[in-house]
Homo-oligomer: A and B are copies of this chain.
């Protein structure tokens, strides 16, 4: 991991995921498939954002850990469904065969479904007798971000854009929805749980919006120029599927400049925060500089 990634937080999240994940019961196979995809490495980027956004307000990370893990469940669910033969038909994810390759399409569909329900079960199981209203708000943020006006909507346009020449507005829509909304909701969820005020929540929302764009642009760039061994997924799969990408629409050099500009915008949004935004700024740098 590059030094700018908050490794201590990532470890905390791995521990949380292991602690909260339901004990294996009958039928074992579905728990195995869920675990297989959930514990296949990954940066835990969305969960890290939940925790680090809460820490800006001096909040105890343990308190937001269930929500952080829920964001990771949602992300994993979306990857399992994206990889399905009927959707992106990807064989490799995080350096391992995809869920449906190992467990079959039927179990993979259901493992995704189950991880998604587990996310809401986990958040709604949090003990917060003093203010359950903020749990309801966080659930609303995550359900909206992952729903038809968010992740699903972006995925639909992505699918429909394969092999089609699309304009930059459509490309922005795909990425804002497919990747951006959950990144934004993760940052907002952490901040909301930590009691962020309207103005500070707005600053963090701006940060998250630019961070999400930078993340997606670098993701596209890595698909062009990255190393399959380091990335853990097949390089060039976007091109193979004639996917809309930033390098394809804007060219590689312009895409790199865009990623840099979005990273700077994200960091600028943190300046007016009353709390310490330095880890979030480091995360923006990490996104720009990453090679996986």
- A interface residues, Cβ below 8 angstroms from B: 22, 25-27, 29-31, 34, 81, 84, 86-87, 104-107, 109-110, 112-114, 116-121, 124-125, 129, 132-133, 135-137, 139-140, 142-144, 146-149, 152-153, 155-157, 159-160, 173
Contacts and interface: CB of A to CB of B under 8 A. Distances in A.
B84 A156 contact: no
B109 A147 contact: no
A158 to B, nearest CB: 10
Contact of A117 (B25, B34, B112, B148): B148
Contacts of A147: 114, 117-118, 121
Contacts of A142: 120
B109 A87 contact: yes
Given A117-B146, A120-B140, 11 more contacts: A22-B149, A26-B153, A26-B157, A81-B109, A81-B113, A87-B109, A106-B159, A120-B142, A124-B139, A132-B135, A139-B139
Contacts of A107: 156, 159
A262 B209 CA distance: 54
Given A81-B109, A133-B129, A136-B124, A29 B116 contact: no
Given A133-B129, A136-B132, A139-B139, A30 B156 contact: yes
Contact of A110 (B25, B110, B156): B156
A92 B27 CA distance: 28
Nearest to A112: B113
A73 to B, nearest CB: 11
Contacts of A119: 143
13 contacts: A25-B153, A26-B173, A31-B148, A81-B110, A81-B113, A86-B105, A109-B109, A110-B155, A120-B143, A124-B139, A124-B140, A124-B143, A132-B136
Contacts of A31: 148
A148 B22 contact: yes
Contacts of A116: 113, 116-117
A117 B25 CA distance: 25
A152 B117 contact: yes
Which 8 pairs from chain A and chain B are nearest by CB?
A117-B147, A86-B105, A124-B140, A120-B143, A121-B143, A114-B148, A132-B133, A124-B139
A32 to B, nearest CB: 11
A119 B275 CA distance: 35
